[in-house]
Structure 1
Amino acid sequence: MAFAHDTEAGLSAAAALVNTLGPPDGLADLPALAAFVAAEGWTGRLRADDEELAGVRALRPVLRGLWSGDEDQVVALVNRLLREGRALPQLVRHDDWGYHVHATSDDAPLEIRMAVEAATAVADLVRAGELSRLRTCARPDCADVLVDLTRNRSRRFCDETCANREHVAAYRARSAASRPG
């Protein structure tokens, strides 16, 4: 199933934000926040101060709850984020994007825009019966989250590093098991 571009972008940005929890903390300071905002293409007003950094950092464990796997809990969290963010969906067009949905104003605090964007994207997954696309990395010692947007729902790892490490470990285990004695 193909999702709208803004849904996929919102889901990917939410996963990237959750994964900054670390360790190490990926949002340890204002330059790290600025780099994250630029990498994820966030638009709108940025204060670039300690209060904004604290707000975004506090949002991360909240958004982690979107990966709980329990549909009723996820729906309750989505509704809470939309309500607290005073979401008012509207179609907008900017940069190279065609019309897509923004549910907050560009001058809303960054953490509110991030929360509402994530909630709106996850609402699309819930409505499509596709909440199982939100997963945790299959590597046992990794707690990062991922969004499986593959056609055949086959993504298991948060990134290629975890996939490669797991594949190498499996290869070594098979090799050791096949050795005599």
Structure 2
Amino acid sequence: MRSLLFAIITGLVGAALLHIVIILTLPRFTGKDAYSRVLGLYEMDSFFSLTNEPGPTGLANDDPFLRVAVCGFAVTGGPARFIAKGSVPFWSLSIYDADSNEVFSMNDKTSVNGNLDLVMATPIQLVDIRKTPPESLAQSILVEMPEEEGYAVLRALAPTDSFEEPVRNFLSEASCEPFRR
């Protein structure tokens, strides 16, 4: 009786673990994970604003008060720089690696002068930048990117219709591009 109970419990625990593994790896096998969807948004190294309706990749902006833009980038050829300026009530930036793990996040309250100026680089690239820092990076935040590829999500708050235009301008003028000395 005891061995039968042990076999049943072992089978149930094994089945539960197998289901958890399948559920967590399914997006990776189907190509429907967030990173694959971001790569399907036309081109890398530029922000792409999401609409309220799901686009061809299935990504959509479903929050009525936030406007969202995403950008895929790679730091293999050099650091990536993110810049955005403008007067919006609130903005936030989240950086994710290719496995959709959050690497870094910040908002207007944690930035320099309320503007976004961030450089993502590999550890070796950061050492090179810190040896001879260019004047253009005097106000930039330097962050280490553990993986070679990732994506950024830039959000801006538009609590009323009067903020709609400044927020859309903020997102459309934001840049996500390779950094060149």
If the length of structure 2 is used for normalisation, what is the TM-score? 0.23
Relative to its length, the structure with more strand (as a share) is 2
Task: Kindly name which structure, 1 or 2, has the bigger radius of gyration based on alpha carbons.
Answer: 2
Query: Of Structure 1 and Structure 2, which has the larger fraction of its residues in helix?
Result: 1
TM-score normalised according to structure 1 size? 0.23
